[in-house]
């Protein structure tokens, strides 16, 4: 393709976003199907799997308090489902085949009814054959807006993804390989934001913008570096932080979200800020933020909300850890290499039975030298200790990264009854067994 044609394609892609606004009483459709996506460095589009033909899937925007209906239409050749990562939903709507629903077979549909309880940044993805279904592109952002509209001049979603592409322009077709299993899962070779490779975002001097970063990658951990930009962290994993703090790097593991509040200096005309991906030794460009040569706009002044219903660390002070999950590799399972929690592989797992409304402590102890971003459905939790030392974070999470040999103590107060997954968000680790459940019941089981 000629350079000009490539640029036109690129402009179309960048300018093309497909938000769907949720309107109460109106059903949204997400059709999972084979599609294609044009990467700027290939001559022909790359075959992908996508929702509604778009990479990423449509950004769903709804209002806090709203009940929305989303119908999954599965036009793939294999069963699927949709999980609403981070969103507190009725257990039956959580999208976990074999646990909360039957798999949605090819040609079938499933209607998800979601109450949007808390404003924040969430995302959706399949919960079956995740390595491949996420690796081929199935995912999208879900934004719940609060009633109180804050005057950011731009509110942008950065759904970050990691693609393992072959030179021929197709997705590397082997998933859960021995290499993936022995390491930190499938790390690709092309990182995109909203499906775009190293996109440029334009701003005016003086603008105050909100960026919602979502790590939707299969396995890659990112530590975004905002060179020259002063950013504040206002939310983690969807929820407002209890105290807004300066962004100085964050291990954004698969599943994690952070919302940043950024003021573009009024004297920044013509400047370009490069945002890089860190975490590993080699940094690489993720995106750029270009400040237009235009008169500066007036910077809006306001205070973003902080968490009201925050989990105070004191409620866990006298609670003894109720469950310790030791994370390690064992022989066995369907790939020969199993990733185990307490030496057991899903579905023969060591579950946690806990009681609704009661403060609980859970310990994740990584006995391996690999990474494990541990995620729990249906709840928020707070990190209380790391590696034996108190380390109380000023925010809650739904996913916490454990590095080699690390241990983390979390506190949570379950508010939703049901069977909720607890698993590593590195897709190949989860599929190799690193999954269990937290069973929340109104009564103690005797």
The residues that touch Cu ion, with contacts defined as CB under 5 A, are 85, 372, 377, 424, 426, 429
Identify which of residues 359 and 433 has a Cβ nearer to ligand C2O in the complex: 433
Question: In the bound complex, what is the minimum distance in angstroms from residue 348's beta carbon to Cu ion?
Answer: 18
Question: In the bound complex, what is the minimum distance in angstroms from residue 285's beta carbon to ligand C2O?
Answer: 26
Question: In the bound complex, what is the minimum distance in angstroms from residue 283's beta carbon to ligand C2O?
Answer: 26
Q: Distance between CA atoms of 121 and 213, rounded to whole angstroms?
A: 8
Q: Distance between CA atoms of 325 and 300, rounded to whole angstroms?
A: 46
Q: Distance between CA atoms of 133 and 50, rounded to whole angstroms?
A: 9
> Residue 50 is encoded by which pair of tokens?
């996508």
Question: In the bound complex, what is the minimum distance in angstroms from residue 376's beta carbon to ligand C2O?
Answer: 9
In 3D space, the residue among 21, 27, 26, 83 whose CA is nearest the CA of residue 58 turns out to be 21
What does 402 bind: ligand C2O, Cu ion, none (CB cut-off 5 to 8 Å by kind)?
none
Question: In the bound complex, what is the minimum distance in angstroms from residue 313's beta carbon to ligand C2O?
Answer: 26
What does 429 bind: ligand C2O, Cu ion, none (CB cut-off 5 to 8 Å by kind)?
Cu ion
Both ends of the chain: CA-CA distance in Å? 68
Virtual torsion, Cα 333, 337, 342, 344, nearest 10 deg: 0
Identify which of residues 123 and 247 has a Cβ nearer to ligand C2O in the complex: 123
In 3D space, the residue among 442, 365, 444 whose CA is nearest the CA of residue 410 turns out to be 365
Longest distance between any two alpha carbons in the chain, whole Å: 70
What does 139 bind: Cu ion, ligand C2O, none (CB cut-off 5 to 8 Å by kind)?
none
Question: In the bound complex, what is the minimum distance in angstroms from residue 84's beta carbon to ligand C2O?
Answer: 9
Question: In the bound complex, what is the minimum distance in angstroms from residue 362's beta carbon to ligand C2O?
Answer: 16
Identify which of residues 261 and 431 has a Cβ nearer to Cu ion in the complex: 431
Identify which of residues 46 and 215 has a Cβ nearer to Cu ion in the complex: 215
Question: In the bound complex, what is the minimum distance in angstroms from residue 96's beta carbon to ligand C2O?
Answer: 7
Identify which of residues 185 and 411 has a Cβ nearer to Cu ion in the complex: 185
The footprint of ligand C2O (CB under 6 A) covers 83, 85, 125, 127, 255, 375, 377, 421, 423, 425
Q: Distance between CA atoms of 434 and 346, rounded to whole angstroms?
A: 6
Identify which of residues 158 and 201 has a Cβ nearer to ligand C2O in the complex: 158
What does 127 bind: Cu ion, ligand C2O, none (CB cut-off 5 to 8 Å by kind)?
ligand C2O
What does 239 bind: ligand C2O, Cu ion, none (CB cut-off 5 to 8 Å by kind)?
none
What does 423 bind: Cu ion, ligand C2O, none (CB cut-off 5 to 8 Å by kind)?
ligand C2O
Q: Is 107 exposed, middle or buried (0-12, 13-18, 19+ CB in 10 A)?
A: exposed
Q: Give the H/E segment covering residue 84.
A: strand 83-85
Q: Distance between CA atoms of 160 and 258, rounded to whole angstroms?
A: 12
For the beta carbon of residue 420, count every other beta carbon within 10 angstroms: 23
Identify which of residues 58 and 86 has a Cβ nearer to ligand C2O in the complex: 86
What does 372 bind: ligand C2O, Cu ion, none (CB cut-off 5 to 8 Å by kind)?
Cu ion
425 in Cβ contact with 185 (< 8 Å): no
Q: Distance between CA atoms of 252 and 262, rounded to whole angstroms?
A: 18
What does 208 bind: ligand C2O, Cu ion, none (CB cut-off 5 to 8 Å by kind)?
none
Identify which of residues 208 and 377 has a Cβ nearer to ligand C2O in the complex: 377
Q: What are phi and psi of 128, to 5 degrees?
A: -150, 140
Q: Distance between CA atoms of 149 and 143, rounded to whole angstroms?
A: 13
């Amino acid at each position: 393709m000629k350079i000009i044609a490539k640029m036109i394609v690129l402009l179309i892609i960048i300018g093309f976003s497909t938000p769907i606004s949720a309107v109460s009483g109106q059903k949204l459709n997400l059709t999972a199907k084979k599609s294609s996506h044009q990467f700027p460095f290939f001559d022909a589009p790359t075959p992908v799997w996508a929702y509604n033909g778009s990479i990423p899937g449509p950004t769903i925007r709804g209002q806090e308090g709203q009940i929305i209906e989303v119908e999954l239409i599965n036009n793939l050749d294999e069963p699927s489902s949709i999980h609403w990562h981070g969103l507190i939903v009725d257990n039956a709507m959580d999208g976990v085949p074999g646990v909360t629903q039957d798999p949605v077979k090819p040609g079938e549909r499933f209607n998800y009814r979601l109450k949007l309880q808390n404003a924040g940044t969430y995302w959706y993805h399949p919960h079956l054959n995740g390595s491949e279904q996420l690796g081929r592109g199935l995912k999208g952002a879900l934004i719940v807006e609060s009633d109180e509209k804050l005057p950011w001049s731009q509110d942008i979603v950065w759904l970050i993804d990691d693609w393992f592409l072959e030179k021929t322009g197709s997705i590397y077709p082997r998933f859960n390989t021995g290499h993936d299993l022995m390491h930190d899962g499938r790390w690709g070779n092309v990182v995109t934001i909203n499906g775009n490779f190293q996109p440029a975002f334009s701003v005016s001097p003086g603008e105050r913008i909100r960026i919602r970063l979502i790590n939707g990658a299969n396995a890659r951990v990112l530590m975004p570096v905002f060179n020259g930009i002063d950013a504040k962290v206002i939310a983690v994993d969807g929820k407002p932080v209890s105290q807004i703090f300066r962004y100085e790097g964050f291990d954004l593991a698969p599943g994690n979200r952070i919302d940043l509040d950024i003021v573009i200096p009024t004297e920044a005309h013509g400047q370009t800020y490069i945002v890089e991906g860190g975490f590993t030794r080699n940094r690489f460009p993720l995106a750029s933020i270009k400040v237009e040569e235009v008169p500066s706009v007036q910077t809006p002044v306001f205070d973003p909300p902080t968490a009201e219903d925050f989990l105070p660390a004191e409620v866990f002070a006298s609670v003894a850890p109720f469950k310790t999950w030791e994370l390690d590799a064992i022989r066995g399972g369907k790939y020969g290499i199993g990733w185990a929690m307490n030496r057991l592989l899903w579905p023969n797992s060591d579950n946690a039975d806990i009681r609704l409304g009661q403060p609980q402590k859970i310990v994740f102890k990584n006995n391996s030298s690999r990474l494990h971003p541990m995620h729990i459905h249906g709840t928020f939790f707070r990190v209380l200790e790391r590696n034996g030392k108190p380390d109380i974070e000023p925010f809650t999470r739904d996913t916490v990264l454990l590095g080699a040999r690390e241990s983390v103590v979390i506190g949570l107060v379950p508010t939703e009854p049901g069977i909720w997954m607890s698993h590593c968000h590195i897709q190949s680790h989860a599929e190799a067994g690193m999954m269990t459940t937290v069973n929340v019941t109104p009564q103690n089981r005797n």
